[in-house]
A and B are shown apart, each in its own frame.
Chain A
Amino acid sequence: MGALMMPGFMRGNPIDPLQAINDGIDAAAKKQLANVALTAAKASGATYADVRIGRYLNQFIITRENRVQNIANTESYGVGIRVIANGSWGFACSDSVTKENIAKVAQRAVAVAKANAKIITAPVQLAPQQGYGEVSWKTPIEKNAFEVPVKDKVDLLLNVNSIAMQNGANFVNSAILAVNEQKYFASTDGSYIDQDVHRLYPFFNVTKIDKASGKFETRRSFSSPVGMGYEYLTPTPDSKVTGIVTRYKNRYDILEDVKNATADVQQKLQAKSVEPGKYDLVLDPSHLWLTIHESVAHPTELDRVLGYEANYAGTSFLTLDKWKSGNFQFGSKHVNIVADKLQPGSLGAVGYDDEGVKCGEWDLIKNGILVNYQAIRDQAHILGLKASQGCCYAQSWADVQFQRMPNVSLRPGADALSVDNIIKDVKKGIYIIGDGSFSIDQQRYNFQFGGQTFYEIQDGKITGMLKDVAYQANTREFWNSCVAVADKSDYRLGGAFNDGKGQPSQSNAVSHGSSTSRFNGINVINTARKI
């Protein structure tokens, strides 16, 4: 529901770990197979066709305390063919990637398109797209996570768990998830695009129980899912953001973070319960990414705006009339939101989207004004665009591609501004680190967010930890209350490994960058209850 969920990751057949580092079939062979699909589709009456031959590899290693709960490698290999015939889309797929079967799948896709053509209200208008010929793109990784022995990963996670337990945790769960999408795309526009996309997500959750009171608290890792290889787990000094607690950018020190988390969780148990009321919030990028995701990235998805997600993910308050007015004040002048599929290390970074469009960057909100949406080829004409913005994605070869969000990020402040300088101006505030509970309405007006750790700010100083904190706001009021954004030295990415949308639901991975930002006068509630 345009929310964070976990479909898709478990798809595929379990395989031997060593099988995951085989290269699969080469680009020349895939081009031959793709041409079979394109030729068969055109011969059957398609005016446009694209084919995706995909090999999707997943690995997950899940542990708790001193034991491994699960190790799995999965592989999914197949072909998906999308066509336009008689003005309508058609799609068919198969896990049998032979020339004979691919031709049949293409014919089936055309038959589906022709059947759907009888009940469409308007023919598909596809933005023109140049063919790129034979091109390739690869996530710039330093170390392929699938080539790292399973034992090394197990040892690392059990070491994480051991540190937590030695420092007084009652329970600890940890995991490493790795994804490799080997995607070959070809279309009747003349593109043959070979891409090798890598993603990684290491994380843990520490729990501490106060048996006397029956209370418990948790603290999750400050890692992010990333579009990187295993090098993410090799920390460097410049990747550490020091302060009230160490946070990370580009690289992650999981052993240091779990020690800090265990100390934090002990402190959380003894923290003061928040007094509800209005506070100035100082939001760390490890927290703010999720607020950006829910309140900016989702409402600027054009398919929501148009009503195509009304029955599942919802619609959007950012209707076309607001964009057409050219003066819809989404946020304060400090709010500059950019969409991209380029940022190194981000989950959304690819060379080309899943309909063969070279990826780029564009503004969504400029100086607080709504200026654009996220669109794909068959939506570009609605915005008067001559080309797609490259937002098309399918979670696998077996799913039809559709509009999914790119990375959506808050640009850092242009003027030099440190986090300490933001905090020193706050009289009554809360500094929030890490993402927690999240909920937003179906048109993205009203939201509520929690966090991992909360610090009270009084007269410019952090005075101690708080608990039972959640804030509620209206999206537009919230972003118009933004009075400060730290400069680029604090810019970091957070992200969602598993954003869900569509029926049947598909999963998408995106990053959201920001620097620490200040929002004035936000309503904070106390979430403590007695049962």
Chain B
Amino acid sequence: MAILTQDEAKTILQKVIGFSKADECSAGLRGSEGGNIRYALNAVSTAGDESTLSLAVTSTFGKKSGTASINEFDDASLEKVVRRAEELAQFAPDNPEHMPLLGPQTFKESIEYVPSTAAITPGKRAEAVAKSIEVSKAASLQAAGYIENSTAFDAVINSKGLFAYDKSTDVDFSVTLRNQEGTGSGYAARGFNDVDKLDTYTATKIAATKANGSVGAKAIEPGKYTVILEPLAAAYLLERLFFAFDARSADEGRSCMTKPGGGNRIGEKLLDERVTIYSDPFNTELPGSTWNREGQPLEKTTWIENGVVKNLMYSRYWAEQKGVKPVPMGPNFIIAGGDASVEDLIKSTEKGVLVTRFWYIRSVDPQTLLHTGLTRDGTFYIENGEIKYPIKNFRFNESPIIMLNNLEALGKAERTISVESFRSYLMPSMKIRDFTFSSLSDAV
């Protein structure tokens, strides 16, 4: 029941609109099915399945809106949820930022749904975990990991004739391997729409290599170093930059995208000219939805082109205030990469640090986008184009903006995942000079 076809979703949503007595009404129906397995100390600790289906209705009178939701779908329940949304709208004060609903739009079909992922069974999840544990045991390591898959659909309708439907699949996997003595730790994480691309055996092998390779880490002095960030490390730090692509906070004067003296940085060269950042729902490696909850079509949008700020996100309200076209936030973020592998970047480095991943990144100063965090699960010293030895983890204090002005080289882009938001990105490995490590950590 949780995954409805386009026709099934439309039938329910049209009934909802039929019950509406408000000036405007919109409704969203979404459902998902999936499951997860968590394991630690080389054994499964918890497992679960989840199936959800819910309907949310927003009714508007003038500039007053109310939202109600329900998870029953007979006609009486549908009418009840519409009436409740209408009652709630009466409680609400006028919202001066309310925008009228959009009329019918044309949406391209998304490519986010992969049937083999939708067909994942509990047995297939268990098999994926068993392969991971097998690697851990063979390497005499302790594995802790998590796999989660979901199939979801999303549909919206409104009283002005807009209707959109989308279906997607997703599978995420992460594993940490540690040795018995607690002196070595390695990590790998993967996220895909297509489960056939997920290889938990190989990913766990990489984590095992990092775990064994990080034993006997030496302490080197904190300071400014040339670093090679693997895509996993780069994604977790650079998503902080993507979250700042908002015109309103920039125009209001409280963002790293604020131009000194007023206004925003559109048109300004902010980063190294080799940096291009864009969103594209039709990228085959990282597909995204082709519309958002407001019913705006999503197309390819370039945020940074050759280092210059090309676009910032404009909500419909803020665009109207500023007399510009709305620019919706993209469904994904991609940094264009080059051809070099991580190994190539290492070979070209005289002295530097290879970073597998970062941990606990938090904002220090939103104005400069300064962030702090730490390295973990495989940090290595590079000399004369080779990894020489593992080193102890560092705390860093660095701004993605300063960092992308200190760019030495971009590697090949690959799909990776943020270890905190669990969003997927297409991200190149990257070589950065003068990256600021400010203290050492004893953590393994």
Contact = CB atoms under 8 A, between A and B. Distances in A.
B46 to A, nearest CB: 6
Given A120-B43, A308-B40, A531-B401, A3 B360 contact: yes
Contacts of B259: 214
Interface stretch (B175-183, B305-313, B346-354): B175-183
A71 B93 CA distance: 9
B54 to A, nearest CB: 7
Interface in B250-267: 252-254, 256, 258-262
Residue among A1, A3, A531 with max Cβ neighbours from chain B (10 Å): A531
B48 A71 contact: no
Interface string A314-354: 11010100000000000000000000000000000000000
A450 interface: yes
A448 B395 contact: yes
Residue among A3, A17, A115, A119 with max Cβ neighbours from chain B (10 Å): A119
Interface in B78-135: 84, 87-88, 91-93, 95-97
A307 B41 contact: yes
B425 to A, nearest CB: 18
A267 to B, nearest CB: 17
A86 interface: no
B373 interface: yes
Counting contact residues on chain B (CB < 8 A from A), the size range is 35 or more
A14 B376 contact: no
Contact of B368 (A17, A474, A529): A529
Interface in B380-433: 393, 395, 397, 399, 401-402, 420
B443 A441 contact: yes
B88 A16 contact: yes
B439 interface: yes
Nearest to A73: B88
Given A446-B439, A528-B365, A214 B144 contact: no
Residue among B67, B68, B187, B439 with max Cβ neighbours from chain A (10 Å): B439
Interface residues of A, number: 71
Interface string B167-188: 0000000111010001000010
Interface string B430-444: 000000001111111
B22 interface: no
A95 interface: yes
Nearest to B405: A531
A438 B371 CA distance: 10
Nearest to A158: B93
A462 to B, nearest CB: 24
Given A14-B68, A91-B48, A527 B393 contact: no
A474 B442 contact: yes
Interface of A: 1, 3, 13-17, 67-69, 71-72, 89, 91, 95, 112, 115-116, 119-121, 150, 154, 170-171, 207, 209, 211-216, 218, 306-312, 314-315, 317, 319, 400, 437-446, 448, 450, 468, 470, 472, 474, 503-504, 523, 525, 527-531
Interface of B: 36, 38, 40-48, 54, 56, 67-71, 84, 87-88, 91-93, 95-97, 142, 144-146, 148, 174-176, 178, 182, 187, 252-254, 256, 258-262, 270, 359-365, 367-370, 372-374, 376, 393, 395, 397, 399, 401-402, 420, 438-444
6 contacts: A170-B252, A209-B253, A216-B254, A307-B41, A470-B372, A472-B395
